[in-house]
Structure formats: C-alpha cells, structure tokens
C-alpha cells in the first residue's frame, strides 16, 4: 500500500524551509555532470527548473509539444504575479501573503508549502528583474503594483497585460542560454506518452516525435513533470488548445496519486460563449476588476429589453443598476475571490437578470474609472485587453460596458506531491499547475505564476538535488532495458488502437460532448444526483469513443487528429475522476460548490470535521474504482474560519 | 450583426517537407461572421473528417494573439486582412459572402514547411540562444528595486518585448530578413540597465546567427512593420544597427 507522507520538516513554520535547505544533501560538481534530469514542459515551471538545473551543472533534457519553448501556455497569463515585497508600504508581509493564500484556498492547502511559496516570492521578482523582464514602473523608476482579488494590499507586479509572456520569455531566454551552453538538450514538438519505472523509481520517459511519429526512449535519474493543468477536460476553457492532462494521467497510471481532481477554478471574467463552433473562451484579466465595476440591471424588465436588443446598457440609469458584488460584499467589492464572484454572477443570471443575447452574461463597466482617471490611464493599463475584446466582440469597451461570464480557467487539483514536490513515485517530481499543491480549493489571482516560478527556480533545484545525492552511483541506462521496451510497446499499442477504431465520429465531437457534460454536472454548481449522472454519461462517452471514433491519417509523420485523440482519451478518464472526487467531497469549498452544502445566503459551507484533508486517488487498473487516501491537513498557524469577504 | 456566409477556400496542402505541395479547393457554407478564422478552419476540418479525408494541418494554440503559434498567409497577407492582429484573432466579419480566400503557409527560406500550413520556426530559438538573454544564473541577484529605471525606458523596453516570435515579419519581407525580430530583443535588453552590459556582444552574436541560418539582408522596405501583429517598430532596427556598429568598432 502506498503511504501518504508529506514529509513536512519539523520546527516552526517560518523556519522549515531554511532548515530544510541547511540540511539538504548536495551533489558535487563532478557528479552533477553524470546525473541526468528530464523536465517535461517548458512553461514557467518547466523552463525555470530546467534553466536552473543546467546552470547547476546537471545534464538536462527538456520536452515540449509546441514548436518552441516560448509558446507554453504560461505565455497567455495576463494580469500579474504576486510577491510580498511590500514596496507600496501597505502592510504586506510574507505572513500576510501566506494567510491570504490559505484563506483564499478555503483552507484546503498545506500550510508548510504555502508558507514557503510566500517566502520565496520576493526572490522571484528579483530574479526576473535581473533577467530584463520589463515590469511596469512608476515615474520614480521603481516597480509598480496593482491589486488582485482576495487581497486588501497591492502586491501584484505586472508587465502591461502580458505578465505571463514576459516572465516566460525571461525563463525561456535563461533556458536557451543553457541550450547554447549544451547543459540542456531541447526537444520540441515532442510529447511524453509514458513514464518508465525501473525498480520502483522513475527512470525516464517514452516520447513521441510529433513531426515524424517516431517513438523515443529517454533515460534520466529523475523526471520532473511541469505539463500544466487539465482545464480542457471541459472542452471550452481559457486554456490554450494544446493544454492537456495526459502527462499527469500517465503518471497517475504509473502509481502517482491524483489529488483533489474536482478542484477546478471558474474565472468570473471571460468573454461569453457565442455559438456552437466556438473553440475556446477568452479571459479578460482579473486586473480589470481593479477599475471595472460589475453589474446587471436591477429590474427584470430592463434585462429582458436588453436581451431582446431593445435597450442598451448605457441607457440604464445609475439607480437601476445592481452592482451585485459591491452590494453583497462591501469590504472586498469587485475584488472578491474568483469562486465567489463567479457564483454571484451565475446567481443573477439564473434569477433572470443576465444580459447579452443568451442571458448568460453580466457587465464589466469602466465608465466611472474613465471619468475619474481619463481614457488615457485606462488605455495605458489595459489597452491590449480592450483591443482583444474589441477584435472578438466587435464592440468598443471604452464606450459600452464589456460583457463577461464565468468560464473554466485553472485546475487546483493535480498530481499529489510532498513538501519536496516529489510524487508517490520516487524520482518523479511534479511542478506548476500540474501538481495539486499550494492553492487549496481556490487559487488567488496572480498566484499561479508565482507558484510556477517558485517551484522551478527556488524549490526543485534544492529538492531534486537532495534526491539525486543518493543516486550518484546509478549508471546511465541504455534504453534497451525491458522496462523501456515494454513501456514503448504499450504506448505504441495505444496509438495503433486509436487508429484502428475507424468509427464515424470526429475527435472534436466527442470532446464537445464531454465538455458539455462536465459543464452541466461538474461545473459551477454540483449535486449528488447530477454527479452520479455525470459518471454514467462519461462512462458511456468513453465506451462510444473507443468503438466509434474516427482518427484520420496514419501513424507515420505528423498527425494532429491522432495527437488530439490520444489526449482526449485521457481527458475522458480525468473527467470521470473529477466527478468521482466531487461526489465524494460532501461539502462546499472554494471552487467546489455542492448545492447541498450552502449557508442561508448561498455561500459555500465547508465541513471541516469531515473534509479537512487532501483527497488522493490511487489508480487501481482499467475500469476499476480508484482508491481514496487522505492527507489530513493540520492548521497550526491559521485558524479555520468561514471565509468572509463582507 | 451576426451573419452567415459561404466561401471558397484555396488551401495549400503538402504531405511533408519532402513532397511537393499544391492548392486544393474547398467550399464551406453557413459560416457565422462572429466566428474566428481558425474556427472556420475547424469547421472545414470537421467536414473533411466526415468525408474521410485528412484535415488541414495548421499551427495554433492560445487563440488569443499571444503565443505566436498561429501563422498563415491569407489572401497574400501574413495574418490576413486586418491590422495589429494575429490570424487567430481574425474574425469572419472581415470577409464577404461568396468570397474566395487563399490560404498559404509562411514562405521563407528560414521557415521550411513541415506539413500543409505548418512551418518550422526553430531558427528563431537558435537566434535567441545565440545571445538573446541577460547572462545571470538563478539566485544571488540584487533586490528588484536596487536600480531605478526611468519609466519611459521601461515602457519602451516593454513595447519591444511584446514580440511574439510569430515570424510574420520574415514572411512579409521580400528578402526574408529576420531583422525586426532580432532588433526587438536587442532593443528591449539594451534599454534596460540589466541588459545594457552585454548589448554590443548580443547584437553581434544574434545577427551572426541570423545570417548563418539563411535569413536575408534588411534593405529597409518596412514591410515587416506593416504586417507585425504587435506593432513592433522599425526604429528597433535602427537601434540594433547602432549596437552592431559599436560591437564592430570594439573588435
Ligand atoms: C488566459 C490565462 C491567463 C492567466 N493569467 C494569470 C495571471 O495573470 N496570473 C497568474 O498567476 N496566473 C495566470 N494564469 C494561470 C497560469 O498562467 C498557469 O497556471 C501557469 O502559467 C501554468 O504554468 P505551467 O508551467 O505549470 O504550465 P504551462 O505553461 O501550461 O506549460 C505546460 C508545458 O507542458 C508541455 N506539455 C504538456 N503536455 C506535454 C506532454 N505530454 N509532453 C511534453 N510536453 C508537454 C507544454 O508544451 C508546455 O510547454 C492564467 C491562465 C490563463 C489560461
Ligand atoms: S517582430 Fe512582429 S512579426 Fe516579427 S516575430 Fe515579432 S511579433 Fe511577429
Ligand atoms: S494561436 Fe496563439 S497567437 Fe494565434
């Protein structure tokens, strides 16, 4: 039986990480050259880790499914990155960032990890500035900050509306420097399709070259997965089209636990769905809630007239608008956390006050900010977002309010890791959005970038080294060992099987069906009945997929349908596990809202006596029920209270 | 207003790098003018799959104009008939009912075709590897506010840093020059004190790599700036030239 041991160092919270680093085992430079590390993924987490490993002298191989490491989905992050610098002198501190994150996550994250995250956050900003990341500055030449949801301080650093892009380019450039120095070997358009385990330890991967279709065997002393989140299980999400959960899913099938799969984040401010051929949803950054006010008409007849196209939002008088977040949560107003804001918008729309042709939209209005600050200031802050909106919707948001609606955005759940970011498979580490750590049941804005870079620059370089210190005597394997041969064969068989179904339905048609099921039953509001139905439906989709999917082309050369089919096969299974986890978690917390568990005012109601744990699922074989293990969460430093943003 | 249009598509099909390509003609019907160009191609692909044919391969990922993965020459223009956007941000309201649309991959010696509309742009990564960074390791760096940077410099650096590495500049250039791309990175880093230290060396090494990889010379046609989806200015090329000269003088 697998044991869940978080390996949290002893001692007071504020000293755990310092102590860990002081006692961690080291590898000398001559031995580092003999040790190989595979990093899968070139997003913030993967690129920063690989660059750092390379600089330290390890021998690194890094993989990405895109044509360049710079295209990882991290590039799309808009709003910013948190750190506890307290430059604005508004009362911020490491401890406050820590408590905000634990509270924002609705008390379902591990204290020790979150504290470390807050602790290293400041070094991230230093590192990025040193790399030439052009963060926004004030006229005095110092760094500027903005506010994000769930915080009453300004601690978010940003680079226009393109923070993720700039941070990723910083990490990418550091990575390419190591590629040039030959410490890192880069594999682009190359996808992990299996993980190789030898004597219980991760010893490499099987990958598939997406241009030639060729399968490859790669050995390493340790493997790091930094492959991002699985939000695309819902088909429509703010994630990039290629974002997928397959690497994490292969890890799960090889013995890594999948933790809290049902914790998915629904972001309140996305451009609403427009039609059945829509391929993805576009996020309008949370930073917009600094200056935008969210409202719907206060009168139902006004909402109806708007939906019918008879009335324009600008014609609604101030008194006839319901700024529902400011009304319900006066202390945080438009800056409540995402889960709270999303549910409030859904509540209004369900009650008949929604706008837009479908009635599934609310307004995000900049009128009062433009009056207060001038259009120039708003343009300087959000110009690229406004342009993006206008190109999609064909409406000018400087003149008329934006329309927004919640959409799937981020997955807090993921591969379970201990304090060292190691999975239950020795030698297999997991970082960034792909792991479950740090954000509990709801992630605060601007904290994913922080976590990705914390993991890659400042945690893994220590913890992976600690692991490898015991491995210096392990010689490189050739790839001809039976474990490699078998793993390659089973991956090949899976692709052949997909090609051989030769059914009648396209991959996308299945993905859309899965997505709708997920959104309807495993989305913003869940209940026992619906979740049971969802599990049945997903199992039926799986059955039909494997008997009726049509994958055109063949195994040789580039075959995009085959790539998609392989990832979808995993999404279907991930969706099932999400529903199973959501059904078992009989409480509401953060992004997981069970209708049966709410307060009279409709707020999420946790069941701390029963569910203050991380739900870790163990794979038990094809079509078998997974087994639940629990990592009980100890709250020593923060008190568990009902979140209150009023 | 949402409308529905029918279109004739002339799409470049090429099985792989070795085989010759050709245009194929397809019809698509009832395309909502609110859908994006790539959603229109999704519809075409769904149609092709249902007919048992191989769908058209094209690069894309974020579908919101930031990853730089999408490309396409549409009616003779990189990223199609709209300004300041990428192909994934192009919407069908820019086209008329009954129109014929020509869709091709980037065509440039530096970007060989991999399949259909997909090209190989790893040359850009190699150029960055030649010097497009500040040589610092993780850890041991000064406090982020240790060196104040004038806001105007920071803003200008940010504008140059907005380049998404899509390659439209190269595709638009009759010489197939990558100068706009290279100059954007050289400028960004030269404008900041952290990058200033290596500015001359960086310019020299990146330009040398660009030449080595078969990109053409810049003759100041300005076509790159016109087609750049991120509004990267040719003023960056002037700055690159200055840095390059300095490097030469130092030699
Ligand atoms: C639109 C948008 C805006 C956001 N804005 C913010 C923000 O303002 N602030 C914030 O903190 N967070 C934001 N986020 C969240 C944040 O961007 C992500 O959580 C974070 O960037 C994830 O980084 P990552 O390194 O874990 O993974 P990713 O950046 O997703 O990278 C995954 C990598 O893994 C590779 N990969 C995947 N599968 C395989 C495989 N099988 N084989 C090989 N390689 C593989 C991919 O090629 C890619 O390189 C935003 C997210 C979205 C969608
Ligand atoms: S300079 Fe412009 S056109 Fe050239 S790669 Fe960068 S963003 Fe694309
Ligand atoms: S798909 Fe990312 S820029 Fe077009």
Task: Give SS3 for A497.
Answer: helix
CB-nearest to A277 from B39, B125, B130 is B39
Burial of B226 (0-12, 13-18, 19+ CB in 10 A): middle
Q: What is the bridge-based pairing of β-strands B4-13 and B100-104?
A: parallel
Low-confidence spans in chain A with pLDDT less than 50: none
pLDDT attached to residue A1: 57
Give the model confidence (pLDDT) of A92-141 as tens digits.
999 999 999 999 999 999 999 999 999 999 999 999 999 999 999 999 99
- With beta carbons less than 8 A apart as the criterion, state whether A548 and A501 touch: yes
Report how far residue B12's alpha carbon sits from residue B174's, in angstroms, rounded to the nearest whole number.
20
Position in ligand 3 atom list of the atom nearest CA B60: 1
Residue numbers of A between 450 and 489 with CB closer than 8 Å to B: 457-458, 461
- Measured between beta carbons, the chain A residues lying within 8 angstroms of B190 are none
Task: For residues B38-44, give the mean pLDDT.
Answer: 97
Give the model confidence (pLDDT) of B91-146 as tens digits.
999 999 999 999 999 999 999 999 999 999 999 999 999 999 999 999 999 999 99
Which regions of chain B does DSSP assign to beta strands (E)?
4-13, 22-32, 73-74, 77-78, 100-104, 113-115, 118-119
Residue of chain A whose Cα is closest to the Cα of B154: A134
Q: What is the bridge-based pairing of β-strands A362-365 and A184-187?
A: unpaired
- With beta carbons less than 8 A apart as the criterion, state whether A42 and A167 touch: no
Cα of A560 to nearest chain B Cα, Å = 7
Please determine, for residue B77, whether its predicted confidence score (pLDDT) is greater than 90.
Answer: yes
- Nearest 5°: the CA angle A129, A132, A137 is 60
CATH class of B4-104: alpha beta
Cα of A204 to nearest chain B Cα, Å = 25
Residues A280 and A394 reside in one and the same domain: yes
pLDDT attached to residue A644: 78
Residue numbers of A between 406 and 445 with CB closer than 8 Å to B: none
Q: Where are the alpha helices (DSSP H) in A351-409?
A: 367-373, 375-393
Report how far residue A351's alpha carbon sits from residue B212's, in angstroms, rounded to the nearest whole number.
64
Report how far residue A453's alpha carbon sits from residue A459's, in angstroms, rounded to the nearest whole number.
9
Residues A309 and A392 reside in one and the same domain: yes
Report how far residue A232's alpha carbon sits from residue A567's, in angstroms, rounded to the nearest whole number.
10
- With beta carbons less than 8 A apart as the criterion, state whether A451 and A432 touch: yes
By C-alpha distance, which of A557, A139, A423, A520 is closest to B149? A139
CATH number of the domain residue A394 falls in: 3.90.700.10
Burial A49-64 (b: 16+ CB within 10 A, else e): bbbbbbbbbbbbbbbb
Backbone phi, psi, residue A74, to 5°: -55, -25
Q: Give the list of residues 6+ apart from residue A258 with CB closer than 8 angstroms, or none.
A: A248, A252, A413, A414, A415, A416, A436, A577, A616, A617, A619, A626
A71 CA distance to ligand 2 centroid (A)?
14
Placement of tokens 């999303």 in the chain: A342
Residues A587 and A495 reside in one and the same domain: yes
Report how far residue B51's alpha carbon sits from residue B55's, in angstroms, rounded to the nearest whole number.
10
Report how far residue B112's alpha carbon sits from residue A67's, in angstroms, rounded to the nearest whole number.
13
Asked, for residue A390, whether it belongs to a domain, the answer is yes
The model's pTM? 0.97
Give the model confidence (pLDDT) of A64-98 as tens digits.
999 999 999 999 998 899 999 999 999 999 999 99
B21 CA distance to ligand 1 centroid (A)?
35
The alpha carbon of A50 is separated from its chain's Cα centroid by a whole number of angstroms, namely: 20
CATH number of the domain residue A588 falls in: 1.20.58.100
- Spell out the domain ranges in chain B: 4-104, 121-137+145-250
Residue of minimum CA distance from atom 1 in ligand 2: B181
> ipTM greater than 0.85, yes or no?
yes
Residues A400 and A518 reside in one and the same domain: no
- Of A372, A388, A408, which one is at a domain's C-terminal end? A408
Residue of chain A whose Cα is closest to the Cα of B127: A176
Residue numbers of A between 491 and 510 with CB closer than 8 Å to B: 506, 508-509
Position in ligand 2 atom list of the atom nearest CA B78: 3
Q: What is the bridge-based pairing of β-strands A222-225 and A428-430?
A: parallel
Sign of the torsion formed by the C-alpha atoms of A79, A85, A90 and A93: positive
- Measured between beta carbons, the chain A residues lying within 8 angstroms of B1 are none
Give the model confidence (pLDDT) of B159-200 as tens digits.
999 999 999 999 999 999 999 999 999 999 999 999 999 999
Asked, for residue A404, whether it belongs to a domain, the answer is yes
Whether residue A338 lies in the annotated active site: yes
- With beta carbons less than 8 A apart as the criterion, state whether A45 and A53 touch: no
Report how far residue A628's alpha carbon sits from residue A96's, in angstroms, rounded to the nearest whole number.
33
- With beta carbons less than 8 A apart as the criterion, state whether A44 and A74 touch: yes
- Of A408, A437, A463, which one is at a domain's C-terminal end? A408
Structural domain including A289 reads 269-408
Pairwise CB contact (< 8 Å): B39 & A87: no
* Start-to-end CA span in chain A (Å): 45
By C-alpha distance, which of A577, A264, A203, A247 is closest to A430? A247
Which two tokens mark A335? 């800056």
Cβ pairs A/B, distance under 8 A = 218
Asked, for residue A88, whether it belongs to a domain, the answer is no
Report how far residue A334's alpha carbon sits from residue A290's, in angstroms, rounded to the nearest whole number.
8
Residues A488 and A404 reside in one and the same domain: no
B70 in ligand 3 pocket by Cβ < 6 Å?
yes
Cβ-based neighbour number of residue A113 at 10 Å: 27
Dihedral in degrees, nearest 10, Cα atoms A376, A378, A381, A385 = -110
pLDDT attached to residue B31: 96
B35 interface with A at CB cutoff 8 Å: yes
pLDDT attached to residue A285: 86
pLDDT attached to residue B188: 98
- With beta carbons less than 8 A apart as the criterion, state whether A216 and A92 touch: no
B169 in ligand 2 pocket by Cβ < 6 Å?
yes
Q: What is the DSSP letter of A625?
A: P
Which two tokens mark A258? 């999948």
Interface test with chain B among A75, A130, A385, by most B beta carbons within 10 Å: A130
Cα of B99 to nearest chain A Cα, Å = 21
Q: What is the DSSP letter of A347?
A: H
Give the model confidence (pLDDT) of A170-205 as tens digits.
999 999 999 999 999 999 999 999 999 999 999 999
The alpha carbon of B251 is separated from its chain's Cα centroid by a whole number of angstroms, namely: 32
Q: Give the list of residues 6+ apart from residue B127 with CB closer than 8 angstroms, or none.
A: B178, B181, B182, B206, B209, B210, B213
Asked, for residue A70, whether it belongs to a domain, the answer is no
Report how far residue A104's alpha carbon sits from residue A599's, in angstroms, rounded to the nearest whole number.
18
Return the ligand number nearest the Cα of A240: 1
Number of domains in chain A: 2
Task: For residues B142-158, give the mean pLDDT.
Answer: 97
Cα of A139 to nearest chain B Cα, Å = 5
CATH architecture of B121-137+145-250: Orthogonal Bundle (1.10)
Give the model confidence (pLDDT) of B43-59 as tens digits.
999 999 999 999 999 99
Report how far residue B181's alpha carbon sits from residue B160's, in angstroms, rounded to the nearest whole number.
9
Sign of the torsion formed by the C-alpha atoms of B245, B247, B248 and B250: positive
Please determine, for residue B251, whether its predicted confidence score (pLDDT) is greater than 80.
Answer: no
Q: What is the DSSP letter of A475?
A: P
Return the ligand number nearest the Cα of B87: 3
- Of A348, A379, A408, which one is at a domain's C-terminal end? A408
Report how far residue A344's alpha carbon sits from residue A602's, in angstroms, rounded to the nearest whole number.
9
Burial of A250 (0-12, 13-18, 19+ CB in 10 A): buried
Asked, for residue A547, whether it belongs to a domain, the answer is yes
Q: Give the list of residues 6+ apart from residue A211 with CB closer than 8 angstroms, or none.
A: A189, A557, A558, B114
CB-nearest to A240 from B32, B61, B115 is B61
């Amino acid at each position: 039986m697998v044991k869940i041991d978080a390996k949290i160092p002893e001692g007071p919270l504020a000293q755990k990480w310092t102590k860990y680093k002081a006692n961690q085992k080291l590898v000398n430079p001559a031995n580092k050259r003999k040790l190989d590390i595979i990093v899968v993924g070139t997003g913030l987490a993967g690129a920063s880790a690989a660059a750092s490993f390379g600089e330290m002298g390890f021998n690194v191989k890094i993989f990405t499914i895109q044509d360049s490491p710079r295209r990882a989905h991290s590039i799309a992050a808009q709003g910013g990155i948190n750190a506890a610098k307290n430059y604005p002198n508004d009362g911020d501190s490491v401890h406050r960032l820590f408590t905000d994150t634990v509270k924002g996550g609705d008390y379902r994250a591990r204290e020790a990890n979150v504290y470390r995250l807050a602790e290293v956050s400041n070094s991230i900003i230093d590192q990025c500035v040193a790399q030439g990341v052009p963060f926004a500055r004030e006229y005095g030449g110092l760094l500027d900050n903005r506010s994000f949801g769930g915080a009453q301080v300004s601690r978010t650093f940003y680079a226009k509306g393109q923070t993720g892009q700039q941070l990723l380019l910083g990490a990418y450039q550091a990575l390419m420097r190591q590629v040039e120095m030959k410490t890192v070997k880069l594999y682009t358009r190359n996808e992990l399709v299996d993980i190789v385990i030898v004597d219980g330890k991760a010893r490499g991967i099987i990958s598939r070259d997406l241009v030639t279709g060729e399968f490859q065997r790669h050995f390493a002393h340790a493997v790091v997965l930094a492959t991002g989140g699985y939000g695309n299980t819902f088909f429509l999400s703010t994630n990039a089209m290629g974002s997928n959960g397959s690497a994490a899913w292969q890890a799960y099938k090889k013995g890594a636990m999948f933790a809290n799969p049902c914790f998915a984040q629904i972001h309140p401010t996305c451009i609403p769905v427009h039609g059945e051929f829509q391929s993805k949803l576009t996020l309008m950054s949370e930073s917009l809630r600094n200056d935008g006010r969210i409202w719907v008409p206060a009168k139902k007849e006004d909402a109806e007239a708007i939906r019918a196209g008879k009335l324009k939002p600008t014609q609604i008088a101030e008194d006839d608008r319901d700024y529902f977040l400011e009304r319900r949560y006066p202390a945080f107003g438009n800056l409540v956390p995402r889960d709270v804001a999303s549910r409030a918008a859904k509540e209004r729309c369900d009650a008949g006050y929604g706008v837009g042709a479908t009635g599934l939209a609310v307004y995000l209005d900049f009128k009062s900010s433009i009056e207060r600050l001038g259009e120039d200031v708003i343009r300087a802050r959000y110009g690229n977002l406004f342009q993006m909106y206008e190109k999609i919707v064909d409406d000018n948001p400087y003149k008329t309010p934006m329309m927004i609606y919640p959409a799937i955005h981020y997955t807090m759940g993921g591969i379970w890791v201990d304090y060292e970011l190691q999975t239950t498979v020795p030698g297999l580490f997991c970082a960034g959005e792909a792991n479950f750590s740090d954000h509990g049941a709801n992630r605060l804005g601007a904290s994913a970038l922080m976590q990705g870079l914390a993991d890659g620059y400042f945690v893994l370089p220590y913890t992976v080294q600690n692991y490898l210190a015991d491995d210096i005597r392990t010689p490189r394997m050739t790839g001809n060992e039976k474990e490699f041969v078998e793993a390659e064969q089973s991956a090949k068989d899976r692709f052949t099987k997909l090609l051989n179904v030769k059914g009648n339905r396209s991959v996308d048609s299945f993905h859309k069906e899965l997505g709708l099921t997920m959104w309807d039953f495993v989305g913003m509001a869940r209940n026992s009945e619906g979740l049971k139905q969802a599990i049945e439906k997903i199992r039926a989709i799986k059955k039909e997929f494997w008997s009726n999917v049509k994958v055109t082309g063949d195994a040789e050369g580039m075959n995009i349908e085959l790539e998609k089919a392989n990832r979808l096969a995993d999404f279907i299974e991930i969706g099932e596990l999400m529903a199973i986890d959501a059904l078992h978690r009989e409480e509401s917390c953060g992004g997981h809202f069970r209708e049966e568990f709410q307060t009279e005012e409709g707020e999420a109601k946790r069941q701390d006596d029963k569910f203050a744990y991380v739900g870790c699922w163990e794979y038990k074989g094809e079509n078998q029920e997974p087994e639940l293990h629990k990592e009980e969460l100890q709250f020593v430093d923060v008190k568990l209270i009902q979140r209150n943003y009023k | 207003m949402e409308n529905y249009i029918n279109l004739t598509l002339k799409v470049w099909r090429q099985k792989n790098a070795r085989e010759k390509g050709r245009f194929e003609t397809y019809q698509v019907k009832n395309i909502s003018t609110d859908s994006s160009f790539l959603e229109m191609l999704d519809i075409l692909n769904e149609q092709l799959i249902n007919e048992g044919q191989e769908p058209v391969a094209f690069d894309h990922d974020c579908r919101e104009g930031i990853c730089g993965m999408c490309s396409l020459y549409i009616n003779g223009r990189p990223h199609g008939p709209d300004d300041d956007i990428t192909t994934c941000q192009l919407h069908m309201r820019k086209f008329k009912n009954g129109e014929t649309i020509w869709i091709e991959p980037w065509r440039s010696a530096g970007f060989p075709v991999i399949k259909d509309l997909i090209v190989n742009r790893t040359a850009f990564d190699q150029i960055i590897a030649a010097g497009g960074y500040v040589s610092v390791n993780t850890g041991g760096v000064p406090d982020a506010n240790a060196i104040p940077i004038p806001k105007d410099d920071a803003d200008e650096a940010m504008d140059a840093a907005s380049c998404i590495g899509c390659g439209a500049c190269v595709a638009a250039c009759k010489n197939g020059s990558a100068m706009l791309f290279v100059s954007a990175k050289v400028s960004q880093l030269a404008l900041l004190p952290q990058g200033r230290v290596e500015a001359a060396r960086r310019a020299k090494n990146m330009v040398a790599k660009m030449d080595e990889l078969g990109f053409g010379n810049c003759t100041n046609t300005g076509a790159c700036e016109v087609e750049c989806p991120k509004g990267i200015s040719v003023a960056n090329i002037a700055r690159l030239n200055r840095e390059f000269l300095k490097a030469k003088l130092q030699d």
